[in-house]
Amino acid sequence: MKVTDRRTLPRSNLSLTVMGLGCAQMGGLYRWTSLAEAEAVADAAWNAGLRYYDTAPFYGFTRAERRLGTLLGERERSHYAVSTKAGRLMVPDATVGAEEDGYVRPLPFRPVYDYSYDGILKSFEHSQQRLGLIHIDILYVHDIGRFTHGDRHEHYWTQLTRGGGFRALGELRAGGQVAAVGLGVNEHEVVQDALQAFDIDVTMLAGRYTLLEQRSLPLLDACVRAGASIVIAGPFNSGILVGNNKFNYADAPAEVVARVRALRAVCDEFAVPLPAAALQFPMAHPAVVTCVSGSRTAGQLQSNIDWFEQPIPPEFWDVLKERGLVEETAPLPSPAA
């Protein structure tokens, strides 16, 4: 599979390259990223043929959207797809510090959760202005669910369902301002709920269908039946599948470290880089249209591309399943995919 291959969202006929660029690093996630670094990554992605770019108001407290809009501003609009997110309004606030919510040197706009009808529409309009775009291809509801909100989940879920958030998404889609709508989340349970509440087109699912974790497999199967698509994000589970000890944005527990060690042992047997297996595994599921991975530098991006395109023998995947390292019913990549 080449990163320039395309898959189409069944509900919208929107076509995406099978690898996309995640832009949280443009907002300074975990360390400062200069505009020159962001430009180098964007240019490298474009030159490699990637044509799908994902961002959010939250990334760098609006910095990532502003940068992406500038960096894509001279490209032909019909040649690329952009997604952004709603669910937080970015309110001017002079007290924003030097590092907040994992972002280094964020801009002085404080995120305030709002999943209501007015909140979704206002967030979308602000994103249009920062990106410099009238039409945004995909709009995701960002971080709805108990993973983010804990005891406040029901309050925000009610905003989305009874408070008109989903209705706002439907109006934006019907009016042609967006081609597809859905969720951008770190948990699969809330997506099951959303499938029952609204006709979502696509979900960006971060870290929940990976080489390391497939508990969301029933959800992906349900998406196939519903004609809804999945965008894979967080394919390295916060980094543990690419060499660090982070899982779900925290230090990895012992049982996760042990499972990664077992995965790595099989990789060593077949001379397969673990990150290559991590990027290719989720693409085998028929619900998945693309995999989005962030890169801070052009070199990191090229490594991701090389791993994504590296040939892996079918026997490798078979051994993973034989040893119980992936779910028995999980689809496996094939050479013809």
Percent of the chain with pLDDT over 70: 99
Give the class (CATH, top level) of 15-322.
alpha beta
> Token pair 């291959």 is at which residue?
5
Domain locations in the chain? 15-322
Type of residue found at 147:
F
- Residue positions annotated with a catalytic role: 54, 59, 85
* Each residue's pLDDT tens digit, 8-32: 999 998 999 999 999 999 999 999 9
How many H-runs (helices) and E-runs (strands) does the chain carry? Answer: 12, 16
Q: Which residues contact 242 (CB under 8 A, 6 or more apart)?
A: 236, 274, 275, 278
Q: Which two tokens stand for residue 129?
A: 């202005």
DSSP secondary structure string for all residues of 117-141: HHHHHHHHHHHHHHHT-S-EEEEEE
Per the CB < 8 A criterion, the answer to whether 319 and 266 are in contact is: yes
Q: Which residues contact 286 (CB under 8 A, 6 or more apart)?
A: 224, 331
Residues in the chain: 337
Identify the pLDDT of residue 307: 97
DSSP 29: B
Type of residue found at 202:
V
- The helix (H) or strand (E) run that includes residue 330 is none
Type of residue found at 62:
T
Q: Which residues contact 116 (CB under 8 A, 6 or more apart)?
A: 159, 160, 163, 164, 165
Q: Which two tokens stand for residue 277?
A: 């297996």
Is 159 strand, coil or helix?
A: helix
* Each residue's pLDDT tens digit, 126-149: 999 999 999 999 999 999 999 999
Identify the pLDDT of residue 337: 56
Convert 228-238 to b/e letters by CB count within 10 Å (16 or more is b): bbbbbbbbbbb
* Each residue's pLDDT tens digit, 31-44: 999 999 999 999 99
> Token pair 């196939």 is at which residue?
224
Q: Which residues contact 135 (CB under 8 A, 6 or more apart)?
A: 77, 176, 177, 178, 179
Show the DSSP H helices in 60-133 as ranges: 63-72, 117-131
Q: What is the CA radius of gyration of the chain?
A: 19
Average pLDDT, the chain: 95
Identify the pLDDT of residue 250: 78
* Each residue's pLDDT tens digit, 206-258: 999 999 999 999 999 999 999 999 999 999 988 889 888 778 777 888 999 99
Identify the pLDDT of residue 239: 85
Identify the pLDDT of residue 253: 87
* Each residue's pLDDT tens digit, 65-108: 999 999 999 999 999 999 999 999 999 999 999 999 999 999 99
Identify the pLDDT of residue 336: 60
Mean pLDDT in residue range 272-283? 97
Looking at 148-152, 254-258, 307-311, which range is the least confident one? 254-258
Identify the pLDDT of residue 100: 96
Please classify residue 105 by burial: count the beta carbons closer than 10 Å to its beta carbon, then call 0-12 exposed, 13-18 middle and 19+ buried.
middle
Helix axes 217-226, 189-197, angle to 10 degrees: 20
Identify the pLDDT of residue 176: 96
pTM of the predicted model as reported, rounded to 2 decimal places: 0.95
